[in-house]
Structure 1
Amino acid sequence: MKTVKAKKLSMGQIFTDTGKVVPVTEVSFSQMPADLAAGSSVKVVGTSKGKGFAGVMKRHGFAGLPASHGASTKTRSPGSIGGRTTPGRVYKGKRMAGRMGGEQVTLRGLTVVEMDEEKKTVKLSGPVPGPRGSFFTLSYEPVEKTAEEAPQPAEEAEIKEEVKEEKVVEEKKEEKQNEG
């Protein structure tokens, strides 16, 4: 599995030929990976957006206390956090208010929808953790390209074109000689 560093550019949506809406995230690379192909499955590891200090209702989805029947100002409180004399402490791992977000998030099974080699960008199906402009790691299984699909230096490509042209010219000469 190969891992590269990428930057989140924006989020958007594209439409398939059947009219289905696909949410996508556009990401960029400093150097485009040569062995990444459209349709590849990727894993993304990034840091989620920080939300600051959050109460238990927002952070953990607690229901809170009733808004009437004498609850007064305790409606968004967590309720009881432990026993009294026994155990005489709060158990470790008790879900309480605190900082929310800003944690490492791993998403598996995203697919590469589109690739733009010139702009060095890729569109991934689904979300990528973090705000726009944040960096994350993208892991993928390299796809082996055949010799014809692999990018070639300009000089080699020109030489191969010249060789093909020469072969065509030679074949035409041979055909004329065979006819005459």
Structure 2
Amino acid sequence: MQTRRSFLKILHWALLPLFVWFILVTPDDVLPFGPRAFQAHSILALIFVTLCLLWTADYLRKGLAGRPGPKLGPRARIAHQLMHKALIWGLFGIALGGFLLGLTSPILLKAGGFLPIAPPLNLQQANHIIGQIHIFEFYLVGVIAAGHAVFHCWRHIYLRDNALRIMAPKVFHRFL
């Protein structure tokens, strides 16, 4: 159990800066900086998607890693479980949306500039719709992630159940 929890901590903290990056920086933002900047952005996206799929695979294999905590009331326990599942499935949906964008694209898209995403079917209207859904879903998962952070801060401060120490690296425990 400890190795799984350690793995998930690493996954959690590796995903966070990437997720923030993609909320703040779009492909259109990096295009003016040239092909190398776009390539770097694409490699970060490939890493992000790989981590999302690893988390989904872990969840499908072993379920949620954490329990809600004894101090949470019945509604908060349900919210805890739903929030975590929404994050995991939302991250999977983001990865799936990227695949569908590649599939419906008029040209062969390559993740990281070298890994073909899917054979392009040149379905422009579907590509546009999937692109809009992909963007909406990404920001929706961002809102859920922000709610997730607020929820755990509330638990840590109001309930005093040390919720932040569960996923925070030990080096930060003295600040919590």
TM-score normalised per structure 1: 0.21
TM-score normalised per structure 2: 0.21
Higher relative contact order (CA 8 A, sep 6+): 1
Which structure has the highest strand share of the two?
A: 1
Q: Which structure has the larger Rg? A: 1
